[in-house]
A and B are shown apart, each in its own frame.
Chain A
Amino acid sequence: MNGIPMEHGLILASILFSLGLAGLMLRRSMLFVLMSLEVMLNSAALAFVVGATAWNQPDGQAMFLLVITLAAAEASVGLALMIQLYQRFRSLDLDVASRMRG
């Protein structure tokens, strides 16, 4: 279990997080935004797991379960919103739905 150093795991987690963040910021399609959110959630979860392993603490695993639950809930709400969005605007483009005129 000690084959992988903690740093590697954390780096992977931050790379995933950055990818997710970039997706969130750059994509317009709601589907990709949701996926990016999932990726970010999971990268955070990964960081928890890596940390838990490194310090032999169970809290990390518990947090992981929490994150998974959160991600599932978020995905279900997000997908429901997405279906609504598609039905209303016939598009997944988030900007189409933007009503605010800043």
Chain B
Amino acid sequence: MMAMAVILSFLFPLVGTLILAFSAGRLGPRASATVGVGSVGLAALATLWAVLTHTGGSQGVTLWNWISVGDFQPTIGLAVDGLTLVMMSVITGVGFLIHLFAAWYMTGEAGITRFYAWMNLFVFSMLLLVLGDNLLLLFLGWEGVGLCSYGLIGYYYQNSANGQAAFKAFVVTRIGDVFLALGLFLIFMELGTLDIATILARAPELWEPGSTTANLAALLVLGGALGKSAQVPLHTWLPDAMAGPTPVSALIHAATMVTAGVYLIARLNGLFLLAPDVMLLVGVIGAASLLLAAFAALAQTDIKRVLAYSTMSQIGYMFLALGVGAFDAAIFHLVTHAFFKALLFLSAGAVIISCHHEQDMGKLGGLWRKLPVAYGGFIVGGAALVALPLVTAGFFSKDEILWQAMAADQTGLLIVGLLGAVLTGLYTVRLILGTFHGEPGSDHARHPEPGTNVFTHHLPLVVLAVLSTFIGAWIYPGLGELFPQAPGETTDSGHTLLQVLAMGAAIAGLALAGWLFLMRRQWLDDIARKGAGARLWTLWHHAWGFDALFDRVLVRPWQWSVRMLRFDFINMIMNLPAVVARVFNAGLVRAQNGRTRSYALVMVFGATLILVALALAPGGGA
């Protein structure tokens, strides 16, 4: 029963994709939207069915043997356990709401069919990613979501900048993917299997904890996770990826795909526990991304870029949790983050469409009365992002992460987490104030056209808003028994202190933001405009200059070598014999000029030469 439901859940989006892809323009916008939204809706129902019929433990179903050569036996096989079901619920549930919202968002755009074909294909690939029982099938979904991300970022293809952004996103994540692929090679060589359950069983038997092989394998897998989840240093693609339509940003670049790295590490938890150094690195990278992105979010003017950096920062929290061994906390935050970040993105989308594709905070403002639904979405989503105590989903998951960091004695990571909470409050307040309050910055913001469709506009926002409150945290089932014991499970000392600290940090962030942005606005602007303040602003605005660095170190040398090699110098060397032959040929052609006189001349010259030679030859002198 459950196997059937699971198979149906990813077949529906696949069928949707095929219908849309092969309709070749015969489907109108409404029909395309119906197929696109409907298939994901059915997938969500199938997932619900799977959740209801799941009897616990891990259940597998092998569809067919993919490849079978010697030991190499990857299957097209699915494995379903609690973690998979949670991920599936997020993908299809949040995915359905986003698809539904997209029906409103994309009204009047050209190429709706293409949009939904990509979106459905994305849902299909993402489901395969979480369902695959072996790493090769996981890799299939992993690459598939990358391709869909490429297609959707470049959806508005006529602007080359969007194409560039899509290109960058694909190539940067592909670099991570190659690390993951190398990790797969290493794991297969050492363990002789790609089946995830077998790997987790065999690795502790064959590898010493902390051994080089274990560290290397974990490190390579981490490389893949960094690329997909936009963590330092492979994070530069995410802000640019905002070039895609906003529902895409909500689905792919906030709720699901970018959290695939978190899923991967949580899935391979046993492997990482064998490599404590790499675990620490995971936490440190998470903390670094968290801070770096939070500072960068402070200095953005584009509302979608603020949200993109905020996503990076929140995924940083998840990595931090993974790093201290709190896999359940990471997945918990993944789920709540999917809810509230999707809400924020969709609300941003509502603002953007209402204001005629205006997404610069400087040109928005004063919208809170005119766009009440979007405003509500921002308030609820923002509150969850800031982790407003007790009423929001974000509070429970973030609190859990910080508590685990504390219980694992990672004081450094804990402090970064608390600092991040303050910064989150700062940039969230700045975002909401800049978008909805103050004076409108342009005519678009003065006369917005609010979304009115109850079903495609209000409903997704309201449902996500509800899920972003404590209800979202409440429906999370808890996956503790799936994972190795987290540090916070053994002790409870100091938990209350931490909760007070976390609440304090969130409220401090809000208070600081209120004080800075409401009372000291002028002072702040003055600082940001000159001297060191301006330099800091520029640095943060460009997210600490990683793009420029990579441009110098990687992109330009690459372009230079392409330019240098364009004419194929090896081929030129191989052509040398031809060139030599041609030179000789040119010389001889000149001699063959058809003039009797010059022939005679050459003949006489030759005859004279021979005569002289004969005369001078020893014994030849007559």
CB pair A21 B600 closer than 8 Å? yes
Instruction: Decide yes or no whether B604 CB sits under 8 A from chain A.
Output: yes
Interface size class of B (residues with CB under 8 A): 10 to 19
Q: Which stretch (B551-559, B586-594, B612-620) binds chain A? A: B586-594
| Pick from A24, A28, A100, A101: contact of B600, CB under 8 Å | A24
Can you list, as one digit per residue, whether each of A20-35 has a CB less than 8 Å from chain B (1) or not (0)? 0100111010000100
A98 on interface, CB distance cutoff 8 Å:
yes
A74 CB within 8 Å of chain B: no
The minimal Cβ–Cβ distance linking B598 to chain A, given in whole angstroms, is 8
**CB-based contact B594/A98 at 8 Å:** yes
B566 at the interface (CB under 8 A from A): no
- Asked if B593 and A26 sit within 8 Å, CB to CB, the answer is no
Closest to A26 in B: B597
Give chain A residues whose Cβ lies under 8 Å from the Cβ of B596: 24, 33, 94
CB distance from A27 to the nearest CB of B (A): 8
| B622: interface (CB < 8 Å) | no
Is B595 engaged at the interface, CB distance under 8 Å to the other chain? yes
Q: How far is the CA of A21 from the CA of B608 in the complex (A)?
A: 13
**Are B592 and A25 neighbours in the complex by a CB distance under 8 Å?**
no
Contact A102–B597 (Cβ < 8 Å) = no
Chain A residues near B601 (CB-CB < 8 A) = 25
Q: How far is the CA of A99 from the CA of B592 in the complex (A)?
A: 11
Binary contact readout A60-102 vs B (1 if CB under 8 angstroms, 0 otherwise): 0000000000000000000000000000000000110011111
**Interfacial chain A residues near B590, Cβ < 8 Å:** 102
**Chain B residues near A100 (CB-CB < 8 A):** 592-594
Query: Which residues of B sit under 8 angstroms from A94, Cβ to Cβ?
Result: 595-597
Residues of A within 8 A of B592 (CB): 100, 102
A36 to chain B, nearest CB (A): 9
- Inside 8 A of B600's CB, which chain A residues have their CB? 21, 24-25
Residues of chain A with a CB closer than 8 A to B604's CB: 21, 25
**CB-nearest residue of chain B relative to A102?**
B593
Question: How many Å from the CB of B60 to the closest CB on chain A?
Answer: 80
Min Cβ gap B610→A in Å is 16
Complex CA gap A102/B595 in Å reads: 10
Contact check, B597 vs A25: say whether CB atoms are below 8 A apart.
yes
CA distance A100 to B601 in the complex (A): 18
Which chain B positions have C-beta within 8 A of A101?
A: 593
Among A28, A99, A101, A102, chain B packs the most CB atoms within 10 A around the CB of A102
Asked whether, in the complex, the Cβ of A98 is within 8 Å of the Cβ of B593, the reply is yes
How far is it, in angstroms, between the C-alpha of A56 and the C-alpha of B1 when the chains are bound? 129
- What residue of chain B has the Cβ atom nearest to residue A99's Cβ? B594
Shortest C-beta distance, A10 to chain B (Å), equals: 14
User: What is the 8 Å Cβ interface bit string for chain A, positions 37-54, against chain B (1 contact, 0 not)?
Assistant: 000000000000000000
CA distance A6 to B594 in the complex (A): 39
Q: Which residue of A lies closest to B589 (CB)?
A: A102
Inter-chain CA distance A21–B596, complex, in Å, is: 12
- When A21-B604, A25-B604 are in contact, do A98 and B595 touch as well, CB less than 8 Å? yes
Chain A residue with minimal CB distance to B598? A25
Minimum CB distance partner of B604 in chain A: A21
Could you tell me the distance between the alpha carbons of A33 and B277 in the complex, rounded to whole angstroms? 98
Of the listed residues B590, B591, B592, B597, the one surrounded by the most CB atoms of chain A closer than 10 A to its CB is B597
Partner of A95, one of B589, B591, B595: B595
Least distance between A46 CB and chain B CB atoms (Å): 19
Task: Map CB proximity to A onto B486-524 as digits: 1 under 8 Å, 0 otherwise.
Answer: 000000000000000000000000000000000000000
Contact of B591 among A24, A26, A98, A102 (CB under 8 A): A102
Q: In the complex, how many angstroms separate the beta carbon of B609 from the nearest chain A beta carbon? A: 15
* Complex CA–CA separation, A80 to B597 (angstroms): 20
| A31, chain B: closest CB distance, angstroms | 14
A79 to B597, CA, bound (A): 18
> With A and B bound together, what is the CA distance between A62 and B594 in angstroms?
35
Give the distance to chain B from A32, nearest Cβ to Cβ, in Å: 11
Q: How far is the CB of B115 from chain A (nearest CB, A)?
A: 64
1/0 contact string of B207-222 vs chain A (CB within 8 Å): 0000000000000000
Which chain A residue has the least Cβ–Cβ distance from B593? A102
Q: How far is the CA of A102 from the CA of B587 in the complex (A)?
A: 9
> A26 CB to closest chain B CB, in angstroms?
7
Q: Least Cβ distance of A11 to chain B in Å?
A: 17
Contacts of A33 in B (CB 8 A): 596
Q: Which residue of A lies closest to B590 (CB)?
A: A102
Within 8 A of A (CB), among B565-594: 589-594
Task: Please tell me which one of the listed residues B589, B593, B594, B597 contacts residue A24 in the complex, with CB atoms under 8 A apart.
Answer: B597
- Report the minimum CB–CB distance from B100 to chain A (whole Å): 78
Nearest-CB distance from B58 to chain A (Å)?
84
A58 and B596 alpha carbons, distance in the complex (Å) = 35
Alpha-carbon distance A33/B601, docked complex (angstroms): 14
The complex places the Cα of A26 from the Cα of B592 at a distance, in Å, of 18
A98 contacts across to B, CB distance below 8 A: 593-595
Q: Give chain B residues whose Cβ lies under 8 Å from the Cβ of A21.
A: 600, 604
> Closest residue to A28 on the B side, CB-wise?
B597
For residue B597, which residues in chain A have a CB less than 8 angstroms away from its CB?
24-26, 28, 94
Taken together as a complex, chains A and B put the C-alpha atoms of A34 and B595 apart, in Å, by: 15
Given contacts A21-B600, A33-B596, A100-B592, 13 further A-B contacts (CB under 8 A): A24-B596, A24-B597, A25-B597, A26-B597, A94-B595, A94-B596, A94-B597, A98-B593, A100-B594, A101-B593, A102-B592, A102-B593, A102-B594
A-B contact pairs, 23 of them (CB 8 A): A21-B600, A21-B604, A24-B596, A24-B597, A24-B600, A25-B600, A25-B604, A28-B597, A33-B596, A94-B595, A94-B597, A95-B595, A98-B593, A98-B595, A99-B594, A100-B592, A100-B594, A101-B593, A102-B589, A102-B590, A102-B591, A102-B593, A102-B594
Query: Nearest 5 CB-CB pairs, A to B?
Result: A102-B593, A100-B594, A98-B594, A102-B590, A25-B597
